[in-house]
């Protein structure tokens, strides 16, 4: 279905090709018309954005694509995925929210995907498919298979920063991607003239890539342009921006009152109906109109059958609510304690050695980020890796959304990207790619999308780095279902957990503390792995449970040693993985000690410490002999002045004082 007749090895006539193009367009038109009717009858829930009037751009763009080529799409993506080969039946079931839908009823109209067909997702976030397309294209380039990616987007997406970041990165890396703008002249309710001052041709020139413009209502014209563009890209031509002029007949969404345009304008646009244009091409090629009528009748029957089948299906059962949130992870045993004779190494060595090990072991692994290649990372952590693994340790522009979007797309395409966000504070710049893409795509696609990616980042207060370079934002990330958040406290765990994160089938945010890069500890063997999602008791005790993670674990151990000299036995639990939270290890320790103190570097309010406190007073209530207490900075941004930072950040002395108070209760 996705392969153009001229690519199959069977010689097809021009008329046969035109008739097949018409068939694909008719399928989209009839599907969308029926979806509109079903929405009005409340058989389709949620939002519905239809592409009636834009069939030619979808079919023409996908015409020269192979099964292994990819597309990314938009909230108005039904036509794109149908043109790439998705079947109408499972798609109609998905729109109706049925278990047998394309994405098991988890995605709905705006989020249909099937990476097995090269469909890497329609997307409810405007412009989000563009960085993801760069990731799919990166995977294609690293595999050197000659595959091409088409990233569909509307004219409204041009105003998004993700558009700029994705096109710029694709240009810098010479990626095999077509950025195809379906210019329907409206960004939701606003005319394009009110949204942009520079034409796409000027933008393409600014990025140093080729540009082509085409009548998006003429399927033959679109296919002709795309055949040429795709062929050039397959042979290393680099990215191209194609603008297809078209028009959507319906509103931005079904139910849109469309006060922003007149009925006369819509009627005039319908004079260039893509199906009527295609029928004129058929007539010119000697195809009788009756043959096109037969196609329409066949498609009507196909859509009727799809609707009746979808109606007969059950919705997902409540017992499946938790399905597809995360992929099952392999069981990793807790390693044996390290030998006292082990060599000593630093946390920064642990990062480099873990990356080196996984790059050598798995050709699907690649590393990307700002200055991670030639520069070796701002802290020198990746120095030498670019030379050791040519093409697989890649410098990027300063474009966090493009970096993370590349990871998302590459992961869906079967790679194992490890990308770096230089400071944890910068997560906010690219939060959509974590919040709405990496964390949710496996769920929203009903498990069709794989997401084995790692985002390395670092934080650390205590050196006057200020409010925008010191934040500990793990609570923000831990609150996002689908993300794994790892925060090691020592060099051996850094090595073992980073390797485990790279091998894991889920998106993992791996957070290092930069003040620990020089911290020394015993070096584990090369095959050392630490299980994700499991806390560890790093000091046994009987009187108080003290829970922490990352660098503050070391302060907790020091405070526990001080309290030991005062006759108080403190058990220290290192969470290691913040999400998913190892509740059982904490509760088991609490049952033994009956007291709980939590220490962390993130601000106190609404943090992981609050979640642990809630756990204690819920499931652990009957074990408590004293109030649950948190030691953490007040809800104030990290100060710059050393005097203020010392007052703001807890220390081992602060922790020790809190332990004394709770021990005395």
Give the β-pairing of 149-154 and 70-72. Answer: parallel
Residue 19 has φ and ψ, to the nearest 5°, of -65, -35
Catalytic residue at 469?
yes
Is 314 buried (19+), middle (13-18) or exposed (0-12) by CB count in 10 A?
A: exposed
Give the gyration radius of the chain's Cα atoms. Answer: 28
Helix axis angle, 274-284 to 55-62, nearest 10° = 60
Distance CA 377, CA 514 (A): 12
In sequence order, what are the residues at sequence separation of 6 or more whose Cβ sits closer than 8 angstroms to the Cβ of residue 163?
A: 127, 130, 153, 157
Catalytic residue at 400?
yes
Distance CA 626, CA 80 (A): 60
Q: Which of 49, 111, 357, 469 is catalytic?
A: 469
What are the structure tokens assigned to 665, written together?
């209760």
Distance CA 121, CA 183 (A): 20
Let me know: does 658 contact 595? Beta carbons within 8 Å.
no
Distance CA 549, CA 608 (A): 10
What are the structure tokens assigned to 268, written together?
């005039």
In sequence order, what are the residues at sequence separation of 6 or more whose Cβ sits closer than 8 angstroms to the Cβ of residue 517?
A: 346, 347, 348, 351, 379, 381
In sequence order, what are the residues at sequence separation of 6 or more whose Cβ sits closer than 8 angstroms to the Cβ of residue 254?
A: 36, 39, 40, 47, 48, 49, 50
CA-based nearest residue to 339, from 176, 525, 567: 525
In sequence order, what are the residues at sequence separation of 6 or more whose Cβ sits closer than 8 angstroms to the Cβ of residue 599?
A: 546, 547, 548, 552, 555, 556, 609, 630, 631, 632, 650, 655, 658
What are the structure tokens assigned to 25, written together?
């367009």
Q: Which of 358, 400, 420, 601 is catalytic?
A: 400
Other beta carbons within 10 angstroms of residue 618's beta carbon come to 9
Let me know: does 23 contact 295? Beta carbons within 8 Å.
yes
Let me know: does 54 contact 126? Beta carbons within 8 Å.
no
Distance CA 181, CA 198 (A): 14
Supply angle C-alpha 476, 481, 484, rounded to 5.
75
Let me know: does 344 contact 524? Beta carbons within 8 Å.
no
What are the structure tokens assigned to 68, written together?
């292994």
CA-based nearest residue to 60, from 88, 29, 20, 31: 20
Task: Give the dihedral of Cα atoms 280, 283, 285, 286; nearest 10 deg.
Answer: 180
* Residues known to be catalytic: 400, 469
């Amino acid at each position: 279905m996705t392969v153009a007749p001229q690519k199959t090895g069977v010689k097809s006539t021009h008329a046969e090709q035109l008739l097949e193009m018409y068939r694909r367009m008719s399928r989209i038109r009839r599907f969308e018309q029926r979806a509109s009717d079903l929405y009005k009858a409340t058989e389709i829930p949620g939002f519905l954005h239809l592409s009636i009037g834009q069939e030619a751009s979808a079919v023409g763009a996908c015409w020269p694509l192979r099964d292994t080529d990819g597309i990314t799409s938009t909230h108005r993506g039904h036509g794109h995925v149908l043109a790439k080969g998705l079947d109408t039946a499972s798609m109609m079931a998905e729109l109706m929210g049925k278990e047998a839908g394309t994405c098991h009823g988890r995605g709905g109209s705006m989020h249909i995907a099937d990476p097995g067909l090269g469909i890497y997702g329609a997307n409810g976030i405007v412009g989000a498919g563009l960085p993801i397309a760069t990731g799919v294209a990166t995977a294609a380039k690293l595999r050197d298979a000659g595959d091409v990616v088409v990233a569909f987007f509307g004219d409204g997406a041009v105003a998004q920063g993700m558009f700029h970041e994705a096109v710029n990165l694709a240009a810098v890396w010479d990626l095999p991607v077509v950025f195809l703008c379906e210019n329907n002249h409206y960004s939701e309710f606003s005319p394009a003239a009110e949204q942009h001052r520079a034409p796409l041709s000027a933008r393409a020139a600014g990025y140093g890539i080729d540009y082509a413009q085409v009548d998006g209502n003429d399927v033959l014209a679109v296919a002709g342009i795309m055949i040429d563009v795709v062929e050039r890209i397959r042979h290393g031509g680099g990215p191209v921006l194609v603008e297809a002029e078209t028009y959507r007949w319906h509103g931005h969404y079904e139910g849109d009152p469309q006060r922003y345009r007149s009925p006369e304008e819509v009627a005039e646009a319908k004079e260039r109906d893509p199906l009527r244009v295609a029928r004129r091409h058929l007539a010119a090629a000697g195809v009788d109109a009756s043959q096109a009528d037969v196609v329409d009748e066949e498609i009507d029957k196909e859509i009727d059958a799809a609707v009746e089948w979808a109606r007969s299906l059950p919705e997902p059962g409540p017992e499946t609510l938790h399905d597809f949130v995360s992929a099952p992870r392999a069981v990793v045993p807790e390693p044996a304690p390290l030998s006292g004779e082990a060599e000593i190494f630093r946390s920064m060595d642990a990062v480099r050695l873990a990356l080196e090990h996984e790059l050598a072991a798995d050709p699907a692994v690649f590393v990307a980020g700002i200055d991670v290649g030639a520069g070796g990372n701002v802290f020198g952590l990746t120095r030498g890796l670019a030379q050791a693994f040519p093409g697989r340790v890649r410098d990027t522009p300063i474009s966090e959304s493009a970096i993370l979007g590349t990871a998302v797309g590459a992961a869906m395409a079967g790679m194992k990207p490890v990308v770096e966000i230089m400071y944890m504070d910068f997560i906010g710049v690219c939060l959509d790619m974590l919040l709405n893409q990496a964390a949710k795509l496996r769920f929203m696609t009903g498990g069709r999308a794989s997401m084995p990616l790692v985002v390395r980042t670092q934080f650390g207060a205590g050196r006057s780095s200020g409010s925008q370079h010191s934040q500990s934002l793990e609570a923000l990330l831990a609150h996002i279902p689908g993300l794994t958040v790892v925060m090691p406290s020592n060099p051996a765990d850094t090595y073992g957990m980073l390797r485990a994160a790279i091998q894991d089938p889920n998106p993992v945010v791996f957070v290092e503390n930069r003040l620990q890069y020089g911290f020394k500890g015993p070096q584990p063997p090369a095959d050392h792995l630490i299980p994700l999602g499991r806390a560890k008791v790093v000091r046994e005790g009987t009187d108080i449970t003290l829970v922490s993670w990352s660098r503050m674990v070391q302060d907790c151990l020091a405070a526990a040693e001080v309290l030991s000299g005062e006759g108080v036995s403190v058990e220290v639990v290192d969470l290691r993985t913040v999400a998913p939270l190892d509740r059982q290890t904490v509760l088991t320790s609490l049952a033994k000690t009956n007291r709980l103190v939590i220490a962390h570097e993130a601000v106190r309010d609404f943090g992981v410490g609050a979640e642990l406190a809630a756990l204690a007073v819920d499931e652990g209530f009957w074990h408590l002999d004293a109030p649950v207490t948190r030691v953490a900075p007040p809800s104030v941004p990290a100060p710059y002045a050393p005097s203020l930072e010392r007052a703001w950040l807890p220390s081992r002395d602060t922790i020790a004082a809190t332990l004394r108070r709770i021990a005395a209760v």
